[in-house]
């Protein structure tokens, strides 16, 4: 049974808690810590949203077990080389010596160290060595982002063989869900009502509770649509409007054109993101921005755009750069505005001052999206907000709307919905030198792209009525204060939308004749009506917007709201109106 942080405990806000140096545990950390030592388990799975402070919590458990003599050594297993060093740095600040440079070839490490940090791939290459080390001394194994142990059969088998003899095993993850059927080692599964095997956490602390506690920042998603024109390999010239109903091929090609650094769309969106960063810096003086790019060539081109926009150079971190860890560390400690990374999400871009992001990659799996957004949610003090800019793509909009929905790893489930396959995560994070190929017609030549402001997504609701780049309507949202509590964000967004709608109604009343709404305008109006009703239901019941949307989707059927037809949205509107008259 999962346990949530007690509402009567107020979290602490140590200045550097994100690095594992908190002198005092947060409410959820203390509660999970107490539960752990009440149970004294051999295996314990902790699911906590990115940015909540899993490192601090795990190192406190390790220190306590060492002081009690339950263990004599610690092994930390991470997805990447960079995270090995990050864990070692955090452990050193609380008095634990961890060797991040341990190699399989050396077999042992210095007596100065309490343990080692290794990668899942490193364990899979020589599980017998790590088993022998685990058997030699009573060992606590900390698995960082344990879901990575299911990335490949060899990884899972290696982890099981190496750490089966461990005295204690502590599994950590912020995103436990996967779409494949590879069971995660040392994770328990129980059969659900539909007969599927579902992972069971010993302690869970999701984004919703963390937001309520002020442990993570509220995330404002700013979506941009626009006109795209491109020429296919066959010589055909095509055009599409991002944010309107498109076929799968049209969407993938329009999306690719939008992200092309040769076009204006990405430049205009980065300009908007930089204006947002300037506003955020009025309250968070060291706030930084991150552009998540798809490949090396594009990342360098984005950095050139940022230099032209800001007059400052941007730090570029590439996945195969041997100096990547050093660059990340330097950027984290600096006042520089922008970092551009080639995906590098599971590679551990962990910089608490990141407040603004541009999602400029074609990857759309839920796991990758959750990890990407997780780069921006670490709260250092109350009131900090995160802003993530993204293209108006239905898959991304749906994921943004459902951020608060809890997920578990399910075995033997039905095939995933189109676009929701997390098995591509490893591919999405590996070294990428060349642009992605998103369709049969590619590669193609981008001819012309331009951006328009579409809407804001926050807490499962949608705000804004669409606007041109640089308009007063867009500035209403870009100019939101950088220091706001979640309820203040919602209040201001509703006020901005109400003012804009009133202005449009006034303008429409002055026009001689009303025109029939185009299909995309009709859908936008229905979405706004539904989101207004969801907001009212949220105030009545206290349920998060994302949970209400998920329940409406479960009852009525159909895809996420970003992909729903006008008829499907109307059905959900009718359903929530029935709830309002029937439920108490």
Instruction: Quote the number of domains for the chain.
Output: 2
The closest alpha carbon to 255, from 386, 394, 354, belongs to 394
Residue 401 lies in a domain: no
Q: How far apart are CA 526 and CA 206, in angstroms?
A: 30
Residue 526 lies in a domain: yes
Is pTM beyond 0.85? Reply is no
Max mean pLDDT among 60-74, 148-162, 398-412, 450-464 falls in 60-74
Q: Is the pLDDT of residue 274 over 90?
A: yes
Residue 58 lies in a domain: yes
Residue 493 burial by CB count (10 A; 0-12/13-18/19+): exposed, middle or buried? buried
Domain stops at, among 162, 187, 205: 205
pLDDT in tens, 295-327: 899 999 999 999 999 999 999 988 767 777 788
Helix (H) / strand (E) containing 274? helix 264-280
Residue 536 lies in a domain: yes
Three-state DSSP at 468 gives strand
Residues 6+ away with beta carbon under 8 Å from 247:
none
Domain stops at, among 205, 222, 245: 205
User: In this predicted structure, which of 82-91, 101-110, 158-167, 530-539 has the lowest mean pLDDT?
Assistant: 530-539
Residue 100 lies in a domain: yes
What does pLDDT average to over the chain? 81
Residue 537 lies in a domain: yes
The two tokens of residue 81 are: 């080389």
Residue 144 lies in a domain: yes
Domain stops at, among 205, 228, 249: 205
pLDDT in tens, 404-451: 555 443 344 444 443 333 444 444 444 444 444 444 444 678 999 999
Residues 6+ away with beta carbon under 8 Å from 8:
none
- 540 lies in which domain range? 519-582
Q: Is the pLDDT of residue 583 over 60?
A: no
CATH code (residue 186): 3.40.50.10810
Residue 382 lies in a domain: no
């Amino acid at each position: 049974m999962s346990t949530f942080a007690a509402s009567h405990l107020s979290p602490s806000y140590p200045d550097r808690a994100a690095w594992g140096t908190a002198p005092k545990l947060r409410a959820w950390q203390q509660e999970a810590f107490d539960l752990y030592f009440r149970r004294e388990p051999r295996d314990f799975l902790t699911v906590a949203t990115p940015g909540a402070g899993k490192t601090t919590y795990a190192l406190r458990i390790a220190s306590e077990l060492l002081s009690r003599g339950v263990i004599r050594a610690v092994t930390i297993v991470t997805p990447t080389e960079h995270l090995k060093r990050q864990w070692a740095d955090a452990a050193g600040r609380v008095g634990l010596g961890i060797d991040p440079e341990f190699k399989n070839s050396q077999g042992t490490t210095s007596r100065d160290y309490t343990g080692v940090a290794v990668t899942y791939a490193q364990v899979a290459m020589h599980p017998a060595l790590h088993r022998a080390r685990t058997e030699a001394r009573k060992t606590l194994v900390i698995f960082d982002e344990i879901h990575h142990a299911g990335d490949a059969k060899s990884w899972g088998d290696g982890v099981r063989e190496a750490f089966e003899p461990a005295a204690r095993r502590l599994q950590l993850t912020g995103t436990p869900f996967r779409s494949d059927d590879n069971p995660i080692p040392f994770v328990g599964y129980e059969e659900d009502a539909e007969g599927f095997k579902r992972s069971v956490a010993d302690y869970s602390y999701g984004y919703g509770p963390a937001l309520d506690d002020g442990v993570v920042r509220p995330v404002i998603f700013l979506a941009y649509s626009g006109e795209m024109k491109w020429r296919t390999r066959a010589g055909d010239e095509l055009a599409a409007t991002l944010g309107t109903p498109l076929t799968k091929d049209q969407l993938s090609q329009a999306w690719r054109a939008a992200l092309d650094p040769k076009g204006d769309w990405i430049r205009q969106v980065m300009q908007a993101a930089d204006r947002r960063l300037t506003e955020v810096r009025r309250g968070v003086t060291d706030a930084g921005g991150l552009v998540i790019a798809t490949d090396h060539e594009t990342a360098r081109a984005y950095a050139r755009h940022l230099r032209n926009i800001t007059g400052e150079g941007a730090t570029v971190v590439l996945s195969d750069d041997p100096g990547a860890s050093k660059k990340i560390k330097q950027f984290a400690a600096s006042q520089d505005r922008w970092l551009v990374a080639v995906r590098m999400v599971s590679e551990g871009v962990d910089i608490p001052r990141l407040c603004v992001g541009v999602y400029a990659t074609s990857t759309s799996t839920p796991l990758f999206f959750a990890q990407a957004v997780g780069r921006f949610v670490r709260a250092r003090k109350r009131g900090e907000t995160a802003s993530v800019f993204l293209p108006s793509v239905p898959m991304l909009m749906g994921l943004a709307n459902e951020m608060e929905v809890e997920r578990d790893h399910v075995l033997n489930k039905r095939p995933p919905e189109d676009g929701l396959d997390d098995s591509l995560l490893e591919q999405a994070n590996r070294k990428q030198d060349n642009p992605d190929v998103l369709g049969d017609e590619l590669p193609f030549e981008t001819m012309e792209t331009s951006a328009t402001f579409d809407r804001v997504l926050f807490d499962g609701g949608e705000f804004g009525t669409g606007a041109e780049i640089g308009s007063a309507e867009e500035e209403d949202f870009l100019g939101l204060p950088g220091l706001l509590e979640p309820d203040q964000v919602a209040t201001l967004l509703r006020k901005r939308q109400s003012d804009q709608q009133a202005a449009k109604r006034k303008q429409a009343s002055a026009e001689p004749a009303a025109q029939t709404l185009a299909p995309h305008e009709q859908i936008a109006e229905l979405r706004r009506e539904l989101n207004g009703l969801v907001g009212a239901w949220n105030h009545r019941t206290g349920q998060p917007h994302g949970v209400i949307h998920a329940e409406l989707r479960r009852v009525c059927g159909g895809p996420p709201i970003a992909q729903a037809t006008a008829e499907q949205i109307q059905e959900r509107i009718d359903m929530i109106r029935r709830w309002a008259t029937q439920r108490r």
